[in-house]
Structure 1
């Protein structure tokens, strides 16, 4: 029985289109160009940051991030970035007694902005705040601590096979692969992903039926 659900953030709870659009504006390229490059990185199994490297080889992403913040053009995250199923699904899970934890690979600033949205969640935390990022096994050890449940009673939900499904399964958690966003759609039918995921879902509201089994 599932007691706790831990959810990824990017392309699980939040849309990444504004994130990539702001990078395109900062680098001075069309939005469709960065979208195409992110797509290329996805189908080749690379990290999304490869898209920025293709635009500006050798880019220091941390330095550029800091420069964007200093210029007042930094990270933004608000209600409009949430997928429409997020609030009803999370609220519904809490109503039936499921502990809801939000934990993804984001900055500390993103953690503050996410908590400012007052999501129906028992805990909202980011990799920067934990000091360890996916797919490091230590991230999933922290997720299990936050879960307050056994690995077999904890479900990790995400779109990214290499960052979410494979390492969560290796840590003993149950897994649900979300068919959403570039990674979610492209890798949904991959045999390795299907073998590693306990469930494949198309919406977070599917979790309400899933936990009742």
Structure 2
């Protein structure tokens, strides 16, 4: 069945989160390399972001954490061209990841070339819960097999998207994208501008 829509994860798929993590470290009173190290432990153990704070020995921040947003210059150089290229092929484009309301608002205000912009905050459920992907399918207004989901994480994006019946695309960049191994059968791209050719191979 032909694809009708392509939806994208946000962090380390469209957005380079290095500056975001650096700001987080500074506001937490930590050196950035300490946070990088704790993040590495979190990835190695297959844990969620929230476990990062336990490794650092501090409480998860509140207040400013929910207001911390990306900036336009945080977008990877290939992000907008890729969204535009997919859209030019007549496919619906969506941007939906595990983000706060502030980050969803940033995506909307950035005028990304997307037909749908949402987040786990709006859906009320986070990846890798299959209900997240059921919500994504509803937003895409098509059958699961007509929707591709592009993300950097095998555990949060590739495996649950496939389990929900979507076409999963693994983007190998960022800490998770480089360190986690996708199934051999997974559609894998590196970098993002390989996406349109990869999708064409499915036709």
Tell whether the 8 Å contact from 1:165 to 1:196 is kept in structure 2 after alignment.
no
Which residue of structure 2 aligns with residue 207 of structure 1? 195
- Which stretches in structure 2 are left out of the alignment for 5+ residues? none
Distance 1:201-1:75 versus aligned 2 partners, 3 A rule: same
- Which stretches in structure 1 are left out of the alignment for 5+ residues? none
TM-score, with length taken from structure 1: 0.88
Distance 1:211 1:148 in 2: 19
Which residue of structure 1 aligns with residue 138 of structure 2? 145
Which residue of structure 2 aligns with residue 22 of structure 1? 23
Q: How do residues 189-204 of structure 1 correspond to structure 2 at under 5 angstroms?
A: 190=181, 193-195=182-184, 197=186, 199-204=187-192
Deviation per CA, 1:118-150: give whole Å up to 9, x if none.
111101101001111111111110110111222
Distance 1:165 1:123 in 2: 20
TM-score, with length taken from structure 2: 0.93
Q: How do residues 43-192 of structure 1 correspond to structure 2 at under 5 angstroms?
A: 43-57=44-58, 59=59, 61=60, 64-67=61-64, 74-187=67-180, 190=181
Which residue of structure 1 aligns with residue 3 of structure 2? 2
Tell whether the 8 Å contact from 1:100 to 1:123 is kept in structure 2 after alignment.
yes
Tell whether the 8 Å contact from 2:189 to 2:198 is kept in structure 1 after alignment.
no
Secondary structure at the aligned position of 1:120 is classed as coil
Distance 1:50 1:124 in 2: 27
RMSD, aligned α-carbons: 1.5
Greater than 6 Å deviation, 4+ residue runs: none
Distance 2:152 2:116 in 1: 20
Tell whether the 8 Å contact from 1:166 to 1:196 is kept in structure 2 after alignment.
no
Tell whether the 8 Å contact from 2:150 to 2:171 is kept in structure 1 after alignment.
yes
Moved more, 20-29 or 127-136: 20-29
Tell whether the 8 Å contact from 1:13 to 1:82 is kept in structure 2 after alignment.
yes
**In the TM superposition, what is the alpha-carbon distance from 1:104 to its structure 2 partner?**
0.2
Report how many aligned residue pairs link the two structures.
200
